[in-house]
Amino acid sequence: MEMTRRKLLNGARFLSFTLDGENYCIDILKVKELMGMTAITPLPRTPAFIRGVINLRGQIIPVIDLRLRFGLKFRDYTKRTCIMVVEVTYEGENVLMGLVVDAIQDVVSIPDEKLSKIPYVSAHIKSEYIRGVADTPEGMKIVLDVLRILNEEELATVKDTAEVQVEAKK
């Protein structure tokens, strides 16, 4: 029993959430903050999945709706809808962005040996966004790679969006 517990603690920890009825996870070390839905200021001339920006304690953060990013149908936000503020590194700089998800579940530990890399997943999203799949006591979890959610050009747009908004505030 103790060995099993220690093994679970040695695994990576992930924040699990739902999106269109599927269970997903993201590396908890990338998650900086969780927040309920708030007013999002729309931005002109950005892709539809970039919903706009929010002001988080004086910091302007672009917000991406994961449903729209993954090609799913838009669903009105509810009291369970959340924004996960994540941090990614782009061109040597840390960039914050908000990811809109249907609901946050919990934190799960997934030992490395339980994370399977498979070329195709029967999920609603493209396999290019997926780091792997894990069978946990809570059920199957699709582990997303936060660095692959956006391509190079989209990351540049998100970074530029945040910088432009900061400059406009000065």
pLDDT at 10: 56
From CA 38, how far away is CA 36, in angstroms rounded?
Answer: 6
pLDDT at 123: 53
Tens of pLDDT along the chain (170 residues)?
Answer: 344 444 445 568 999 999 988 889 999 999 999 999 999 999 888 888 999 999 999 889 999 999 999 888 999 999 999 999 999 887 888 889 999 999 999 998 888 888 887 655 555 666 777 888 888 877 788 888 888 888 777 777 777 765 655 455 55
pLDDT at 3: 42
- Helix, strand, coil shares, percent, the chain, to 5: 25, 45, 30
139 beta partners:
136
From CA 94, how far away is CA 99, in angstroms rounded?
Answer: 16
Which residues make Cβ contacts (< 8 Å) with residue 3, sequence separation at least 6? Answer: none
pLDDT at 153: 78
pLDDT at 38: 93
